[in-house]
């Protein structure tokens, strides 16, 4: 489109008016009735059926929305059902347009050849845009299910409407140009509408990208990627101006399909996040309910405690589950995008011919190493470590939470699975690079020598970690004592285990220590532990009364178990006191300190009421004036007379 094109512009306008393909849609050019037109009748009938069912669909949709956020009625299938119902509400108009397009395809003539493809493309565009706008209505799926703000939804709905209008001339002209013999450059009106549509598309896409910033903040990579997508229509317009009209018209359709897939990607990802949120919420509720049921005692006043429904908190969703789920969605939609652009991406096949390493006789690599092999190996390794790092969270929320497993068992399964994934990924990556496994003897020999010297401790800790996971002498959440250290196991890794002590300090202990040293696990098979409380009463106290009071306090305390029952013993007749022991059992380690505190306070009050004196060491000082300054010290159990 140079100066010569500008000079020919008036002539081209006149020719387009007199002989343009647009005259094919005039009624005077229509041919007679053809039975092929009836091919689109089923779509039109389906459109009418959906129109008749709109009221019922909206009522069912309102019922689904009312159940969102309620633990007993909300499920993971509510969001897919709501999304599908909104699709049904949005399809009535597009189905009618598609039916007309299919009917025209069954007919013959210039009208069918030029208009039918455009109607089908417009029907698809209308369906996608209308579906997206239905999801963004007030109190709709985006607001109730995805928890997006109403202002944000209203803004996106407005921008989607503008983008849908901009798509109409672009898609229609691109679809009709395939059947038109006159180049687009010689049709100034069509070219003007096409250019205006591309510029408007770029504007609305940029506005859609920038609308995320006030809500989600600035993410530089996503912002640059979104603006690059928004500049694609301008690039296509530049191709048309430069003379690559055929290429630009063919790329328009693929770019539109790419936009549809990206919109579907957003909906699927948001639905997945919502599904994980519901699963995590129900899992947390079941665990809380199990803990409260275990704490309720039979015959307690008021019966069972009422468990309140926990609120839906998106921040509580396991981040590992989200990352891995998004990775799976990314891989799936990347495959779809590859199918759309596969014939254009085949140009990257030349990378197979660029060799980085030519295999020689005796080399570790059997075949020639190309750039594509390196990229494939790096991709396999990256996906491997992403899955190994994030799979445990998804496995626990979606699978292990549905099984009757203890926390330690779930952790062991997920850890072993992570090790397996890492090992498999490394083997696949090396195989992609063409590594010959029968030539790795030197590596095995070097590894053996290293294990014999510097790596023996690391290897011992690794094997000990596997023993811990299989034998399970300790589990996540167990309270242990090893040496002078007391704490709770918080993490079990390949080399070491993390123990959090009661000062909330994290202590890293090599796994070998747990296998070779003496270990006390307070909660390995049973959380019930014994607490021994000692008391010394003064000589002359009523021992039967002391027995009764100690047993009474133990029976009254709700933390003390009735089975095994409490026991009271007078173990020694001491020099200064009568020594009693109260032996009680508690159901949880956290109850040890609370039970001791409550019992001691109660015993002190009962001893005061009953007149039982607690013994303490006393000393009587006798002064003898007849011996000068000499002083005689004598121990005694009883207080001396006041005159002494």
Q: List strand residue ranges (DSSP E) for 249-389, in order.
A: 355-357, 369-370
Strands 485-492 and 479-482: antiparallel
- What tens digit of pLDDT does each residue of 266-319 get? 899 888 888 877 877 777 777 677 666 655 543 343 333 433 334 334 344 456
| CA separation for the pair 454, 21 (Å, rounded) | 82
- What tens digit of pLDDT does each residue of 348-390 get? 565 566 565 655 555 555 566 667 777 778 888 888 877 776 6
| CA separation for the pair 263, 269 (Å, rounded) | 10
- What tens digit of pLDDT does each residue of 217-242 get? 777 777 888 888 899 999 999 988 88
Residue 285, judged by CB atoms within 10 A of its CB (0-12, 13-18, 19+), counts as: middle
> Would the pTM of this model clear 0.85, i.e. be above it?
no
- Give the CATH fold of the 456-521 domain: SH3 type barrels. (2.30.30)
**Residues 157, 162, 165, 170, CA torsion sign:** negative
| CA separation for the pair 546, 577 (Å, rounded) | 13
| CA separation for the pair 170, 197 (Å, rounded) | 5
Share of the chain above pLDDT 90, in %: 14
- By the 8 A CB rule, do 604 and 613 touch? no
What are the CA-CA distances from residue 212 to residues 145, 172, 208, 234 (Å)?
Answer: 18, 30, 7, 22
- What tens digit of pLDDT does each residue of 313-352 get? 434 445 656 666 777 787 788 888 878 877 776 665 655 6
Residue 322, judged by CB atoms within 10 A of its CB (0-12, 13-18, 19+), counts as: buried
What's residue 639's pLDDT? 45
**Residues 247, 248, 253, 255, CA torsion sign:** positive
Indicate the helix (H) or strand (E) that contains 487.
strand 485-492
Cα 251 to chain centroid distance, Å, stands at 35
What's residue 126's pLDDT? 93
Domain(s) labelled CATH 2.30.30.60 in the chain stretch across 456-521
Domain(s) labelled CATH 3.30.70.100 in the chain stretch across 529-614
What are the CA-CA distances from residue 262 to residues 83, 128, 523 (Å)?
Answer: 16, 11, 50
- Give the CATH fold of the 529-614 domain: Alpha-Beta Plaits (3.30.70)
- By the 8 A CB rule, do 391 and 400 touch? no
Residue 278's beta-bridge partner residues? none
Closest CA to 621 of 598, 639, 602: 639
Residue 170's beta-bridge partner residues? none
Instruction: Find where tokens 């009209």 sit.
Output: 245
- What tens digit of pLDDT does each residue of 431-484 get? 777 766 565 566 666 666 666 666 677 778 777 877 777 777 887 778 888 888
Reduced to 3 states (helix: H, G, I; strand: E, B; else coil), residue 303 is: coil
How does DSSP assign 281-295, residue by residue? HHHHHHHHHHHHHHH
Residue 496's beta-bridge partner residues? 510
- What tens digit of pLDDT does each residue of 551-604 get? 999 988 888 988 888 999 988 887 778 888 999 998 877 788 888 999 999 998
């Amino acid at each position: 489109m140079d100066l010569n094109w500008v000079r020919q512009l008036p002539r081209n306008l006149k020719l387009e008016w007199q002989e343009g393909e647009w005259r094919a849609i005039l009624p005077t050019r229509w041919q007679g009735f053809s039975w092929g037109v009836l091919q689109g009748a089923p779509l039109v009938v389906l459109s009418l059926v959906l129109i008749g069912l709109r009221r019922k669909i909206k009522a069912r949709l309102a019922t689904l929305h009312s159940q969102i956020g309620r633990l007993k009625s909300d499920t993971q299938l509510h969001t897919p059902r709501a999304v599908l119902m909104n699709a049904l509400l949005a399809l009535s108009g597009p189905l009618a347009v598609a039916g007309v397009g299919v009917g025209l395809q069954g007919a013959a003539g210039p009208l069918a050849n030029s208009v039918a493809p455009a109607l089908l493309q417009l029907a698809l565009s209308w369906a996608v845009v209308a579906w997206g706008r239905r999801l963004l209505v007030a109190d709709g799926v985006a607001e109730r299910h995805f928890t997006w703000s109403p202002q944000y939804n209203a803004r996106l709905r407005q921008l989607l409407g503008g983008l849908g209008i901009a798509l109409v001339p672009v898609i229609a002209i691109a679809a009709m140009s395939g059947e038109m013999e006159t180049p687009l450059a010689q049709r100034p009106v069509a070219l003007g509408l096409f250019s205006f549509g591309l510029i408007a598309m770029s504007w609305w896409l940029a506005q859609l990208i920038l609308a995320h910033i006030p809500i989600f903040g600035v993410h530089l990579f996503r912002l640059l990627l979104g603006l690059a997508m928004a500049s694609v229509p301008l690039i296509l317009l530049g191709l048309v101006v430069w003379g690559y009209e055929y290429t630009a018209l063919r790329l328009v359709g693929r770019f539109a399909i790419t936009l549809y897939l990206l919109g579907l990607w957003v909906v699927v990802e948001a639905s997945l996040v919502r599904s994980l949120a519901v699963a995590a919420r129900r899992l947390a509720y079941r665990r809380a309910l199990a803990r409260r049921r275990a704490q309720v005692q039979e015959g307690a006043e008021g019966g069972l405690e009422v468990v309140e429904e926990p609120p839906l908190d998106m921040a509580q969703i396991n981040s590992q589950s989200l990352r891995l789920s998004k990775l799976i969605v990314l891989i799936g939609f990347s495959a779809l995008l590859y199918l759309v652009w596969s014939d254009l991406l085949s140009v990257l096949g030349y990378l197979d011919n660029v060799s980085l390493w030519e295999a020689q006789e005796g080399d570790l690599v059997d075949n020639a190493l190309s750039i594509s092999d390196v990229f494939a190996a790096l991709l396999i390794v990256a996906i491997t470590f992403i899955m190994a790092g994030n799979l445990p969270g998804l496995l626990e929320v979606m699978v292990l939470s549905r099984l009757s497993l203890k926390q330690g068992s779930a952790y062991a399964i997920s850890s072993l699975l992570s090790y397996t994934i890492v090992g498999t990924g490394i083997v696949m990556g090396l195989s992609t690079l063409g590594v010959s496994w029968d030539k790795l003897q030197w590596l095995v020999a070097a590894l053996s020598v290293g294990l014999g010297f510097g790596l023996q401790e690391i290897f011992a800790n690794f094997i000990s970690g596997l023993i811990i996971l299989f034998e399970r002498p300790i589990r996540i959440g167990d309270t242990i004592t090893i040496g002078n250290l007391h704490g709770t196991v918080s993490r079990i890794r390949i080399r070491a285990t993390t123990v959090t002590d009661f000062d909330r300090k994290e202590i890293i202990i090599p796994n070998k220590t747990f296998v070779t040293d003496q270990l006390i696990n307070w909660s390995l098979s049973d959380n019930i532990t014994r607490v021994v409380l000692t008391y010394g009463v003064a000589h002359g106290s009523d021992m039967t009364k002391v027995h009764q009071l100690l047993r009474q306090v133990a029976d009254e305390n709700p933390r003390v178990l009735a089975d095994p029952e409490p026991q009271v013993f007078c173990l020694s007749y001491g020099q200064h006191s009568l020594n009693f022991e109260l032996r009680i059992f508690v159901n949880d380690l956290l109850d040890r300190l609370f039970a001791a505190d409550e019992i001691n306070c109660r015993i002190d009050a009962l001893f005061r009421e009953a007149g039982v004196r607690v013994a303490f060491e006393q000393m009587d000082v006798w002064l003898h004036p007849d011996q000068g300054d000499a002083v005689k010290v004598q121990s005694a159990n009883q207080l001396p007379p006041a005159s002494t």
